[in-house]
Structure 1
Amino acid sequence: MINEFSRELPELKPNGRDREFKKYSDDIKARVLYEHLINNRTHRWLDINVLGITSGNTKGRDSANILYYLGMKADYRGLFGGQDIVDVISNLGNNHQDFKIAIELLNRNYELQRLEDVVGLDIESEEVEEGGLVEGGIKYRYVKSYERKLKNRLLAIKEHGVICKACNFDFKAVYGERGREYIEIHHIQQLSELSEPTEINPRTDLVPLCANCHRMIHRKKDEVLTINQLIEILEENKN
C-alpha cells in the first residue's frame, strides 16, 4: 500500500488500446478506477458490478483494458487501499509520471460521491418530514423507494442542473450555502401510470423543479399539469 507521504509508484505501461476506454462514459470509467485503486476490486468484479456485463462468461476484459489503457497493470490493484480519494489524487499529482487522465477521472468520482451524499441527505430529510421512515413491513419498500429516488435525482441533476425548469428559481441564489445543489425532481410521466418497470431517461423523463412548482403541477391528482402548462400559468399571472 502507498501512504500519503510516499511518491514511488509502479511504472505506467499503457497498452495503446483505446476501444474499451472510448466505449464507456467518464462516470463509469471514474468508478472503475476508484474501485480498482482504492477498494481492491478485481477486473471481473468491475465488469459485472460497474460495467454491467452480466451475459456470457466475463473474465474482466473490458475493465482490464480501461485500466491498461491508463497503464495500470496488476500492481495498481488496491495500491491505495483505504485511503481518502483526495490524498490519492494528491499522490498521483505529485508523481513524475503522467497521471493527468486518471486524476481527471478520480476528481469526477469525488464530485459524484459528494453529490450523492448531498442528495441522499436531502431525500432522507424529505422522508422524515413526510413520515416515510417507519419500522416493520414498510421498511423494505422505503429502501427501494430511497434507491430509486437517489438514482433518479442524481441522473436529473447531472443532466439538467439544479435550476427550476418552470420559474428559474435557484435555491443557492436565495438561501446561500443551505440551498446549494438542492432541487426536486419531477417525472414527466407519473410513476403510477407505468404498467411495468421502465428504464428512465433523465434527459426526456425527468425535470428539475422548485418545491412550489412541483406542488402546483401535482396539486390536483386528476389534473397533473405539463411543464408547458405550468409555465403558461406563471406567464399569465406575472405582476
Structure 2
Amino acid sequence: MKKVYANATEALSGLLHDGMTISAGGFGLCGIPELLIDAIVDSGVKDLTIASNNCGVDGFGLGKLLDTRQIRKMISSYVGENAEFMRQYLSGELELEFNPQGTLAERMRAGGSGIPGFYTKTGVGTQIAEGKEVKIFDGEEYILERGIVSDLAIVKAWKADDTGNLVFRKTARNFNPPAAMSGRICVVEVEEIVERGSLDPDHIHLPGIYVHRIIQGDHEKRIEKVTTRKREEA
C-alpha cells in the first residue's frame, strides 16, 4: 500500500466532507499538524467537529478554521490563548464539549483500541458528569465516558518510515498518538521520512498499522509564548 504522498492536499484527497469529525493531535502549538490544517482550510469543508486539546491561537493552527467558520463543534480541554474561540463560544456561534485533558486523551485511545467506553472518577460531582451514567465501584462514584472514533485523524510526528511507523519528539507525544489511533483514516505530516528498517523498533511510538497516509514538509514551529530576560551586563 502506498502511504507517502507529495503534499497535504494530495494526502487529504477524497477524505474530506461537510459535517465530519476530525481528531487533531498537538498541545497548544506543540506538535500540531499545521500543513494538514492549512489544506483543510483551503478545501472549504465546513460544519466540522474537531476533537483536540485546544484550538490553536488566533490566526494559527486550528485557529485558522475558526476564522473561516468551518468548525461547528469543538471537543476540547482548554479554550485559553484564543480570543476568537472564546468569542464564538460565548456568543453561541460555536458548540463546545469540555473534557478534562486526561479524559480526552483516553477517549481517543479507547476509541482506537475498540473500547466503546470507560469509567473514571474525573469530573464526578461537576458539570462534566451531567447527563452521564454513574456507577459505584468499591463505594466510589465513577462516570461513563465514551470512546472517540473520528472520521479522520490528523497528526504531526518527527520521523516516519514509508510503512507509517512513527517517532514523536518529546511533548508532541501527549495527544498525537491517541489522536492517530482514534481516526478511521489517519494522515500524518512528519519532518523526515527515513529508510524502512532504519528506525529502532524500541524507539517507535506508534506502529504503522494506524497510519494510512504520510507527507513530509517544512514547519514553522511557532512559539506560543516567548519569555525572555534582560541580558546581564558583563
TM superposition score category, shorter chain reference: under 0.3
TM-score by length of structure 1 reads 0.24
Higher strand share goes to which structure?
2
Greater RCO, 1 or 2 (C-alpha within 8 Å, sep 6+): 2
Higher helix share goes to which structure?
1
TM-score by length of structure 2 reads 0.24
